[in-house]
Amino acid sequence: MGKVVLGVTVGVAVAACAVAALVVGRRVRSRKKWKRVVGVLKELEESCETTVGRLRQVVDAMAVEMHAGLASEGGSKLKMLLTFVDNLPSGSEKGIFYALDLGGTNFRVLRVELGGQRSELDPDVEHQPIPEQLMTGRSEDLFDFIASSLHRFVENGNDSVQSSIMKELGFTFSFPVKQTSVSSGVLIKWTKAFAIKDMVGKEVAGALQQALDRKGLNMRVAVLVNDTVGTLALGHYHDADTVAAVIIGTGTNACYWERTDAIIKCQGLLTTSGGMVVNMEWGNFWSSHLPRTSYDIDLDAESPNPNDQGFEKMISGMYLGDIVRRVILRMSEELDVFGPVSSRLYVPFALRTPAMAAMHEDDSPELTEVAKILQDVLDISDVPLKVRKLVVKICDVVTRRAARLAAAGIVGILKKIGRDGSGGITGGRSRSDIKMRRTAVAVEGSLYTQYTMFREYLHEALHEILGEDIARHVVINVTEDGSGTGAALLAASHSSSGSVDNIQLV
């Protein structure tokens, strides 16, 4: 009997030991796995590092590339495009003007009534999503669609469509265009999600004008502008110290006011104001100082435009979500912390930036929004809290880098025009000797306006790079629908009744 009891006791002890060994083994394996996950995160953090020293190198590179792009055609990846906008709205513009704003996933139609005094503007605005097939189909279909929407918009307003008085339209077209005048230009290439082959190399305002004529709209395209230029126009209308405008939305770009004598590639360019707005197309900026990860390299290689828009691919709303998707995919494949690898993780752009921002800004203790988005968007369920925290951290690293690089870009412009307090590109004077002028930068785009963490990181970096003394002279103003409203303002200042062509190429 005693032997039996002993036998059972030993058996139980052996079994308990085996279970314990199993549990410990599992724990050790899971701890090791977690260590490797943390390793992947650490590697991401290190390769996204944006110390203030590195940001200053990006600032310098941006200023140098701006010089190079102004010196010769093709002298830099920064195209530094002439806009033929040599005067910003003065506030005395009067009348009713229309604008069409095409460039992101939505397009907008606007009607603006200008009273002649720098008054508050209250445009009628209609937003419309662009059907995806139109972004990659035939140009005529896209322009007919836009013209129909404009026709409906005019009809629904108080104006008659076929009135004998010609209406003036500002056309905001947010892609790289080689302008031939303020109201005409040729598309250089598409960016973002657009890829209409038959349009590249074609005159843009002409294509719209033909579509308007086909619809019987008595309207003239008075100006063709980039969205940054519209934003600068509205920014300047509200704050005369505005010297530059930046868009951080689906894509990213900046424009600024430049002296004509600094535009060396266009010798003999004369404007009465002595200056002109330059569309930098900074989305295509590149420098070896940019902190690039293997995820960026893969994203670029798999994009329809490899080696193009490198800065944009690290900063703008079109891409941030996809960088995060790639990091989660790698962790899921290599370390199975997200359970079986979800097939949704292989779908390019499955995780859009608004969903990523919502996860990043989830402040619930259990990160319920993160769990919901992982489930609804990526089909990943039952993710433990510590893994949800990991996802938030990935979003943070990707967004922080983007915002800080955008800040470095802005300071690059300030440096180029001598407004960064460093005494310009040649430097020499100490910061305390320099009398800083108030400098305003107009900013627009959903990433900046709707993503609080992004905005805060951008401001923080501006202060770090410039230092508090200089930073307090630099104001960031958000404009609302500036890209469109600004185009209407520019249509007014370049309207057939009021404008004289002040630009000469001698």
Closest residue to bound ligand BGC by CB: 251
Q: Does 192 bind ligand BGC (CB under 6 A)?
A: yes
State how beta strands 219-225 and 167-173 pair.
parallel
User: What's the min distance (Å) between Cβ of 248 and ligand BGC?
Assistant: 8
Rounded CA gap, 226 and 101, in Å? 9
What six digits make up the tokens of 271?
């404007």
Count of Cβ atoms closer than 10 Å to residue 385 Cβ: 12
- Catalytic-role residue among 60, 227, 322, 362: 227
Residue ranges in 407-436 that form contacts with ligand BGC under rule CB under 6 A: none
User: What's the min distance (Å) between Cβ of 81 and ligand BGC?
Assistant: 9
Distances in Å between the Cα of 253 and the Cα atoms of 65, 244, 381 are: 15, 11, 38
Here's the x/- map for ligand BGC, 51-70, by CB under 6 A: it reads as --------------------
User: What's the min distance (Å) between Cβ of 326 and ligand BGC?
Assistant: 20
Determine contact, residues 333/298, Cβ cutoff 8 Å: no
**Nearest Cα residue to 402 out of 251, 192, 288:** 251
State how beta strands 242-248 and 439-444 pair.
parallel
Q: Does 191 bind ligand BGC (CB under 6 A)?
A: yes
Rounded CA gap, 414 and 36, in Å? 42
**Nearest Cα residue to 175 out of 188, 162, 165:** 188
State how beta strands 275-279 and 439-444 pair.
unpaired
Return the percent helix, strand and coil in the chain, to nearest 5: 50, 15, 35
Count of Cβ atoms closer than 10 Å to residue 501 Cβ: 11
- Catalytic-role residue among 77, 79, 189, 192: 192
User: What's the min distance (Å) between Cβ of 466 and ligand BGC?
Assistant: 24
User: Residue 178 CA to chain centroid, in angstroms?
Assistant: 20
Residue ranges in 96-115 that form contacts with ligand BGC under rule CB under 6 A: 103
Q: What does the chain come to in residues?
A: 506
By C-beta, is 310 or 421 nearer to ligand BGC? 310
Q: Does 479 bind ligand BGC (CB under 6 A)?
A: no
Residue ranges in 309-328 that form contacts with ligand BGC under rule CB under 6 A: 312
Q: Does 300 bind ligand BGC (CB under 6 A)?
A: no
**Nearest Cα residue to 404 out of 41, 46, 50:** 50
**398: helix, coil or strand?**
helix
Residue ranges in 221-240 that form contacts with ligand BGC under rule CB under 6 A: 226-228
Task: For tokens 């002890």, name the residue.
Answer: 13
User: What's the min distance (Å) between Cβ of 247 and ligand BGC?
Assistant: 4
By C-beta, is 312 or 362 nearer to ligand BGC? 312
Here's the x/- map for ligand BGC, 260-289, by CB under 6 A: it reads as ---------------------x-x------
Question: Considering CB under 6 A, how many residues would be counted as binding ligand BGC?
Answer: 17
* 239 counts as catalytic: no
Q: Does 174 bind ligand BGC (CB under 6 A)?
A: yes
Task: Point out which span in 126-134, 170-178, 268-276, 366-374 binds ligand BGC (CB under 6 A).
Answer: 170-178
Task: Point out which span in 110-118, 245-253, 334-342, 415-423 binds ligand BGC (CB under 6 A).
Answer: 245-253
Rounded CA gap, 40 and 34, in Å? 10
By C-beta, is 89 or 249 nearer to ligand BGC? 249
Residue ranges in 124-153 that form contacts with ligand BGC under rule CB under 6 A: none
Task: For tokens 């629904």, name the residue.
Answer: 156
What six digits make up the tokens of 81?
């495009």
Q: Does 481 bind ligand BGC (CB under 6 A)?
A: no
* 420 counts as catalytic: no
Residues that bind ligand BGC (CB under 6 A): 103, 174-176, 191-192, 226-228, 247, 249, 251-253, 281, 283, 312
What amino acid positions are annotated as catalytic residues? 192, 227
